[in-house]
Each structure stands twice: as C-alpha cells, then as structure tokens.
A and B are shown apart, each in its own frame.
Chain A
Amino acid sequence: MASATAIPLSYVARNLWTRRLTTALTAGGLALVVWVFATVLMLDAGLKQTLVTTGEHDNIVAIRRGSETEIQSGISRTQANIIASHPAVALGTDGERMVSKETVVLISLKKTGAGKPSNVIIRGVSAKGMTLRPQIRLAQGRPFRPGSAEIMVGSSIARGFEGTAVGDTLHFAQRDWTVSGHFDAGGSGFDSEIWGDADQLMQAFRRIGYSSMVVRLADAGDATLEQLRGDINADPRLTNEIKREQVFYSDQSRALSTFITILGLTLTAIFSIGAMIGAMITMYASVSSRVAEIGTLRALGFRRSGVLYAFMAESLLLGLAGGLIGLAFASLMQFASFSTTNFQTFADL
C-alpha cells in the first residue's frame, strides 16, 4: 500500500526551482562537461567524415616509402611513368591512363577579415586530376586551362581568403595566378586546396619531381591492389608505397584525431571532476538545509527509502537539466565549422 516513491515530483522540482541560482550554477557546470564532451565527439566525427569523403575507394595514392604526408613525399618522373604504365591502372573513356601526377606545396595566404596569414595547400594536378575525384564539382567560373597560370580554388578557400574571387589574381612563386573558377569538393579536404596545372606549378616552384600520384585501379578489388603493390616492391627503381586514397587521408589525420580525442577527454575529465564536486556540494547543502523537512516527512510516515528517492530524483533532475542544456549548446556547434581537413591546414583551427 505505502509506496516508496510517494513523495510527489512537484516537491522535488519546486525545491530545485526555489534554489534556482544554485540549481542553475550546478546545472551549468554539468552542462559544460556535456558540451565539451559532445563537441569533442562532433569534431572527431566531423574530421573522420571529411577524411572518408576525401578519398575514392578505387583510387590509390602513391608516395615515397616512409613519408607520412604528400608534402614530405617525392616521386621522380621516371617512377611516376613506371607506375602509370602498370596494367592495373584503369583506362579512361578517351583511352588515356587514369593517372594524375601531382605536386603539393604549402603557401601562406591572407585570410579575409583578420588578414592573418594561414597555410594553404596548392596542388598541381594532371589533366585527369578532376576526373579522378568525382566529388569535385565546378561551382563558379571554369576549370584552369592546362599549360596556363590559372588556378581554381576550393569552396573553403573561396570563403575564407582574400583575393580568391573569380577573375582575381594571387601572387605566389614570383608569378601572378588568375583564379579561373571555384570548385566544391562536397565537404572533403580538397575544399581547402588550390588547384592548378602540375607542370606550371612545378616550374614556378622549381621542382624536379612530383609529390605524389593518384591512380584509378582498373578493378577496385584487393587482388589488383596487392598485385600492383607486389610489383612496386619488386622493382628496384621504385621506392614508393601505395595506399587506397581513403586510407591515405585517414592515416594522415589519425594523429590529429587522436590529439583531439585525448585533449577532449582530458578536458572532459577535469571538468567533470569539478562539476561532480559542485553537484555534491549542492546536494549536500540541499539535504543539510532540509534536515527538519526530512524529519517531518519521516514522521508523516514516509520511509527512509522514499526520502532517499526524492533526493535522488532531485539530483537526477539536476543532472538531466545540465545534460540537456549541454546538448543544446553542443548542437549549436554544428553551425560552427572548422577547416580541420588535414594536418597541413591545422593552422586554420
């Protein structure tokens, strides 16, 4: 007959409301923890999402063995030609090999507004460069003309940097480069890059070899990949390694992902200790200021467990309020976007 949860919820809720400043501060502390944690998860998930969309499953990237990024990598023209002529490489509708020999250079560009310079990737690509990345769409203007000093900029660059409107000229490597168009890479890492003609850029930056090359496999299966890998390893002229494009980009940013996760979890742990102590003090004060009320409830016939449930409910309600506020703020974070697309542009963050 006598139920242990008989103390009405209105009693619990109104006690929280009566001490609303304390309640708000405590819930705020809890909200902060939830917010930090949720934001870290979102950043990490966003990063992984970006990386996956950056790569095509049947594309492989070839770099110099042991280099972690395209910036560090180098492939000589001879090596590039040997790999390009391998039978595992797909042929395009035009009968040409589906290969893009690329050069990757970092330059510093002024951001809009603050005018602070930030690192940007310039990627010189072959004629097949865009065809190999079907997620890239022309958003404005037209593609750069091969053999000319024209460049295209990704949508993040177009939004965030000065002098990147179609028709503007950017000055780097002792040359003026005309922006011929904008491309949209669907939220992938290429959105934070500037693309131009590989040979033009190599001349301007005085490079002899390429940085990397992208190859479309004739067959996406692992057997083809392994065959190509085996042949590359067996050839003494080749000092390269190959990876699927998706794997390549996610490996590249694994360090960043780990960093974000560790930083986030550390912050979350520190904040949650603080928030827990805060919540404990609040609940302790809540109990000690109501000793007489607890005595009255007990005298009226409420069991020890009933009173305990009421205070548990109070702390749960407090936690729930904090959690919901934290999640609400965290979900606002989806409107904030960082171009944390890869390690080189981490300076953007």
Chain B
Amino acid sequence: MASHAIPTHASAASPSSEQTGLWSWLTTVDHKRIGILYLYTALFYLLVGGLEALLIRTQLAKPNLHVVSAETYNQLFTMHGTTMVFLVVMPLSAAFFNYLIPLQIGARDVAFPRLNAFSYWVYALGGLFITLPIFFGLAPNGGWFGYAPLSGPTYGGGFNMDFWVLGLQILGISSLAAAFNFITTIINLRAPGMTLMRMPMFTWMSFVVQFLIVLAFPVITAALFFLQFDRFFGTQFYEVSAGGDPLLWQHLFWVFGHPEVYILILPAFGLVSEVLPTHSRKPLFGYNVMAYSGIMIGFLGFGVWAHHMFAVGMGPVADSIFSVATMLIGIPTGVKIFNWIATMYGGSLRFPTSMKFAIGLIAMFTIGGISGVMHSSPPSDLQQTDTYFVVAHFHYVLYGGAIMGIFAGIYHYFPKITGRFMSEKIGSWHFWLNFIGLNLTFFPMHFSGMLGMPRRIYTYDAGQGWDLFNLMSTTGTYMLMIAGLVFAYNFFSSRQRGAAAGNDPWGAPTLEWSIPSPPPEYNFAQIPEVASRYPMWDLKAPDRTEGIAHSHADAATIADAHAVPVHEETERRSAKELGIPMPFPTIKPFMVALGILILFSGLIVLHAGHFALAMATMLGGAAFMVGSLYAWLTSPLE
C-alpha cells in the first residue's frame, strides 16, 4: 500500500542524508526523516478518511438512497472518525513536533532518537491494524467513542470492535512514548539563552499537548483494558446484567476525550502563531498571555469532560459545575483569537497561502467555538446533542481549526523541509476551494441538525425539511475532494519543480530559519546562543524587536554548550567533517513495534477460537518484543 510509496517519494526530500532507499527509512533515527514519515503516512490517511466521508455524504445526498448498506455505513462513520482523530490529525501534529521542536529550540535531535523511531513504527503498524479490516467488512462499527455496552461482547460480538479496542491500545503506546520524548526534549535540550518564555509559540503549545497526552491517554488505556477484558476474558465491567454501569465507560472515555480535542487543536494553534507574526512582520501580540492561556486551556481541559454527557441526567449539581467550567474554558480560547487579530492589527501584512489558511482558521474556529459555547448550557445542549448540529460544530473546530492550521503549517514549512516553494497560485486555488467547500459542507448541517436530523443515521425520509441541506453538504464534500486533489498536485509537483527557497524564505523570526533548507542531518553546525524571543529578527530586522527583552546566557553555560551567537548557517558539510557524533541507524525500534503488533494480534486469533495458536502468537510476539528491546537497550546510541 502507500507505505511503499513513502520512502521513494520522501527520500528526495532530504538530499543531505547520505543513505536512501527503503532500508534507510526503516532504520532512521533522524527526527526530520521521522517527521517526514509521519507527514506522508498521515496525509495518506487523510485521503482514506476523506474517501470514507465522501461515501458517507454520497449515501446521504438524497432521501432513501442505497449507495451503501446500513452496516457498511456504521463502519464508515466509525472509521472516518477514528481515522481522522487518531491517524490523521494527531500524526500530522506529530510530524510537526518531530520536524520542528528540535529546530525551534536549537537542538541536534530529540532526547531519545530511537524511542522516536519506535513511536512512528507503532503508529504505522497500528494504523494498518485498525484500517485493513474495512476491506473484509470487519471494520469497527460502534462509533469513534465506542460506547459500552454497545462495543462490549453482548451487543458487539463480532470481530469489528476487537480491531478498534486493540488498535487504539497500540496507537496509545505510540503517543505516550512520543510524549515522554518531547517533554524531555523541550525541558532539556534548549539552546543556551532559550528560556521557557523565549520558546517559539509552536513549541509552547506542543509542550502543553505532551502533558495532555501523558495525562489523558492512561485513562483511555484503562477504559480500553476493561473493554478488552470484557471482550476476551469474560470480565463484567460494562455488563449491565451484572451491575456494570455504562456511564463508567462514558466518564472514562470523556476524561480522555475532552483533553483529546485540545490535543488535536493546540498544535494547529501553535502553527498559526508562527505564521501570523511572520507575515504581519510584527511580534506575536501578548506572547505571555498566549503561553499562559495555552496552559490554562490544558489544565481546565481536565475539568469539563461531562459536557458530553448532559443527556444522561447527572443531576443539577454536576450539570452546573461542568457547564460553568466549560464556559470558563472559552475565555482563554477567546483570548487567543483576540491576540491573533491584534497581532495582525497594524502589521505590514502579506498574504501567501499559509497566511490565508491561518486567517481562515481564526474565522472558522470562531464559528465552531461559538456553537461550542451553545452546547455548554445543558438546556440548550439537550436540543442539539446527537444531531447534525453537533456534527457541524465539531467539524468547524476540527476541519476549520485543526486541518486549516495544519495546512497553514504545511505551506509555511514546505520550503524548510524540501528546499522548494509550493506554488502560490495553485495554493490560492486550494485555499478558496477548501474554504468554500468546507462552509458549503458544514454550515447547512447547523440547519439540518436544528430541524432534528440525528447523527449516525444511514438514510432518511423525504419531506422533513432536510433534503436541501443534505444536498448542499454533499456538494460541498465533492468540492473538498477537488480541493484535496489540487493540494496533492501542488505538493508533489512543487517537490520536483518548485522554485528554490533559501534558509529563510519568509523572513521569519525563529531559529529553524537560520539553517539551510532542507537542514543538514545535525541541524546546527554550532549550537546557537539565543538572546531574545526573535533571534532571526535581531539579526535581520532589529527594529521589530526593540521593545522585547534581550539578555545573554552566562558565560559558563555558553562555554559548556560550545555555543556561538545566532547566525545564518550557509555551509553544508557532513557530520563527520564537523566531528558531530550522530546516532546510528537501527532496525530495533521497528522490531519492538512489530513484536507489539504480533502480541495484540494474538487476541484476534483467540476470539477466532484457536486457543493454542493464540497463545503461540502472543508468547511469540512478547518474546520477540522483549528480545528486541534488550538488543536495543544494550547497543550504543552513537
């Protein structure tokens, strides 16, 4: 499948690396190449999730259509949601974490390069595990939040939800391992002078997101273990006849689920916070407030989960608490919107495609944010929950927010990653098709929802006032597909033929723009010493940073790091010539990931009723995993 296409396409993206070919991609521990792997894999899944959406919308274009069966429809919306959340937006964010965090903080790699490769391979294999069953009609079919007991053995006895439960467990390992890695990287690998309050805003938002992952994922891990044990070992966690409580799943899921939505959106916020100041040629307005509001959102994000459950009747006290907390969290979010607008205010603006997408995010996210505040009031939410109104809401924040922000990031960083510009003309087409298509798809859903159309129905009768709105939504979806093709064309043709970009094509303020594009494998020939938040503007446009604090790290620290003042790096020499030790490529992280996949697959065999084979698979997988792990841990890094 596409995983074969990844290496060949992507290899050209880093001409600096001496090795190419499949093996070098399987064994790479370079954060930039791993970032590129994430990018290609996640874009492939965006295509998959998009095609699923296309089928969904085709089925709903008119009343009483039978493009797909009801059962297939269940699989489609479940896989669409699961794919978009876990296989598209999170990994696209991870692509940027990988590529950018070390570059933005002036580091040569992440703290644990091999663990980083491990995270990617667990994601890649886990993605296949959860996606391939759709070709056999066995894809998960219980919705992306897998409500028990529907997802349990009594009502969901087939293999379908097995793949969901186990697949999410696998993907969780990937996210957690990456989170420990990035937390350590950001704490411990910042260049001298790069205090926390000088970190680029993308790194800040990523930092917050890693903590959200570290705290939210264990909760769904526990919930999934209960479900897994119910399904495979006959426990009774969600078995109503034994006294099990369906609300337990819902609470655990949303304790994870709400922070998860910030995990999806904050990286996009971070990207936009890089794009806007660059093209406004003006420092980010209210940097401190931006950082603190990110932390606030992260913290409050753990106290609002039950706003997804107003309909279950938790009682007035719980309803009020969660309602108020949800309204409160709108404040730091609103602050960000105003700060972005204030950043542009009075700037000398440029409108390349990345800037269009960034401004698009501000507008679209605001619409989604407003409908979100409407849900925070229980009486109002009771009218909206489980209708297309909610579908409209979360697509404005996820598509209009996360995806638009990520597109802004792709257009902005493409020159850094490939050394070439993307076409602005085609980019502009992409943006406008996307912008119109998105509104045409999702705005009418507010109306169909208000008129009572429930989500997750595979067809509907005519004459309920929903027909026109559904046709509009479907038309918009086809437009979005065309936009996607335009983007793909732009992406691949620019990779081959785009105009050459130098170190700093946009005149941007942060460290990643001080080194060649694409960066050499060691990133920085000399570790830069940072004296302010906008080191590159200090160098090139000092008038913009006059009002900003400057100070130098102490001499001992600078000497310790062999750091030199920030400067533009133009020479491109090999790590060996420069005497920079680089980590060895290694296959072992891939092997450990493979062992984990085999281990989990054993449970599917168990469900199929082959006890001995299942045990053999699981023990074999576990032994392979532990053996590879020991081999990994006992071999030197560099």
Real binding pair: no
**Which residues of B does A touch, CB under 8 Å?**
none
**Which residues of A does B touch, CB under 8 Å?**
none
